[in-house]
Structure 1
Amino acid sequence: MAAVDEIAPDIFRITVMTEPDQDFTTSFFVIRDEAPTLVETGFRLSFDETRQALSRVVDPSTLRYLVVPHFEGDECGALNRYLDQAPHAVPVASPIGVAVNLGDFALRDPLPVDASSELDLGTHRLRFLITPYVHTWESMLPYDPTTGTIFCSDVFIGPEEGRAMTDADQTEAMIETYKTVGIFPSRAHLDSALDKIEAVHPRTLACHHGSVKTAKIGTYLQALREHDVTGVTEWNPMLEPPSR
């Protein structure tokens, strides 16, 4: 059963266990506001489970924005299922994401956003960091300056250890994971993304995989700068889609 946890005022984490044996979770986030918003949608195959969890926070039919940080099954596999449920919802992605993926994939015309864009949700706002090749070429990271929450997608991933939120230092596990899966192809692109993240002074790292980080953010940034986590490595299939 999907778990629901409030990780910042009116921002909720919806989580399913992706790999129980490896303590590896997949999460997406709902912002409860005048314009209810999903950041990521989770897998298509887990839609029924995650929609039920979402309905504990907002009526899915009232969703206004469905934000896609990059095009991948765990990020947007259920996008069209949610668009079916929410007649006024608009998909949101980076300009490249719209041009090469969502413009064709989504049931409804998507909205391209860049570093100058801002979505007014009511109390919250969403701005966007454009972070190509972190870890796909159309990647971007949304953030809410109202709460200092950055939705960091596949940056800062790690274990959950039964905690929706943590103030512990999990950098060792994070670095080991990246060395195993090899999802960052370029040092220059990763450093550029870290510069952009650091510049907005986040207070909460809303991770797509693993516990949400609420402390030691500088430590996580420094660890990714100091360790070699870029380049191609032998792929270890940690992520498996939910069973049918």
Structure 2
Amino acid sequence: MAAIDEIAPDIFRVNVMTDPELDFSTSFFLIRDEAPTLVETGFRRVFDETHRAVSQLIDPATLRYVVVPHFEGDESGALNLFLQRAPHARPVCSPVGTAVNADLADRDPLVVDDDSELDLGTRRLRFLITPYVHTWESMLPWDPTTRTVFCSDVFIGPDSGHATTDADQSDYMIEMYRSVGIFPSRAHLDHALDKIEAVRPRTLACHHGSVKTARISAYLQALRATDVTGVTEWNPMTEAPDARHDH
């Protein structure tokens, strides 16, 4: 069953444990406002479960935006299923994401860039365009009111059954990235970190693992100081870094 937790006022994490043995989970986020918005959708295969979770918070038919940080099964696999249940919802994508992946959405996407702002009612949603972090069309939405950055596959961590953590899990993060090699370019990663740091995040709403509510500078510094770019051989079903479970 999907877990639901409020990580900031009217911002909810919907979480599914992807692999309990690896302590690896996948989350997406609902912003409850006059224009209800999903950031990511989770996998298509667990849509019934996650749709029921969203139904506990809002009527899913009232969704207005479904933000796609990048096109990948865990980020956008259920996109069209949510669109089918929400007649007025619109996908939101980066310029590159729209140009190369628009055909993956059943409804024309809204294109956003660094200067864009979505009016959700009491909140505004803005965007950091971060190419090649970790795919070429990547972007990271953020909420200026709570200074929450929805950081997609940046700042991956363990879950351990905790929706949020104030612990420093950067060692896990670095070991995971060294194993997986999802960042192809040091320059692009640094560019993204500069953008994230500039908005002074208070919360890192991670797509995988617990949401980070403290020690933000430690995570930024760990990624700046360590070579985590490149591609390595890794089998996610048999290998994983040791998780730090202190919370």
TM-score by length of 2: 0.95
CA distance in 1, matches of 2:87, 2:49: 20
How many aligned positions are there? 238
Instruction: Tell me which residue corresponds to 1:64.
Output: 64
Instruction: Tell me which residue corresponds to 1:19.
Output: 19
Instruction: Tell me which residue corresponds to 1:191.
Output: 190
CA distance in 2, matches of 1:22, 1:108: 36
Deviation at 1:161, TM superposition (A): 1.4
CA distance in 2, matches of 1:40, 1:195: 23
Assess, with a 3 A threshold, how the Cα gap between structure 1 residues 201 and 22 changes in structure 2: closer, same or farther.
Answer: same
TM-score by length of 1: 0.96
Q: 1:3-82 residue pairs with structure 2 within 5 A?
A: 3-82=3-82
The alignment status of 1:202 with 2:201, answered yes or no, reads yes
* Structure 1 runs, 4 residues or longer, greater than 6 Å off: none
Deviation at 1:238, TM superposition (A): 4.6
What secondary structure does 1:61 align onto? helix
**1:103-139: per-residue Cα shift (whole Å, max 9, x none)?**
2111111011000100010111110000000000000
Assess, with a 3 A threshold, how the Cα gap between structure 1 residues 39 and 122 changes in structure 2: closer, same or farther.
Answer: same
CA distance in 2, matches of 1:84, 1:50: 15
What secondary structure does 2:183 align onto? coil
**1:136-190: per-residue Cα shift (whole Å, max 9, x none)?**
0000000000111000000000101111000000000111111111100000000
Read off the aligned partner of 2:115 and give its amino acid letter.
Answer: S
Instruction: Tell me which residue corresponds to 1:242.
Output: none
What secondary structure does 1:18 align onto? strand
CA distance in 2, matches of 1:133, 1:155: 11
The alignment status of 1:215 with 2:203, answered yes or no, reads no
**1:51-97: per-residue Cα shift (whole Å, max 9, x none)?**
00111111100000000000100000000000000000000010100
Assess, with a 3 A threshold, how the Cα gap between structure 1 residues 28 and 238 changes in structure 2: closer, same or farther.
Answer: farther
Read off the aligned partner of 1:43 and give its amino acid letter.
Answer: F
Instruction: Tell me which residue corresponds to 1:113.
Output: 112
What secondary structure does 1:127 align onto? strand
Instruction: Tell me which residue corresponds to 1:174.
Output: 173
Read off the aligned partner of 1:191 and give its amino acid letter.
Answer: D
Read off the aligned partner of 1:48 and give its amino acid letter.
Answer: D
Deviation at 1:42, TM superposition (A): 0.4
The alignment status of 1:154 with 2:136, answered yes or no, reads no
Q: 1:218-237 residue pairs with structure 2 within 5 A?
A: 218-237=217-236
Read off the aligned partner of 1:131 and give its amino acid letter.
Answer: T
Q: Give the root-mean-square deviation of aligned CA atoms.
A: 0.9
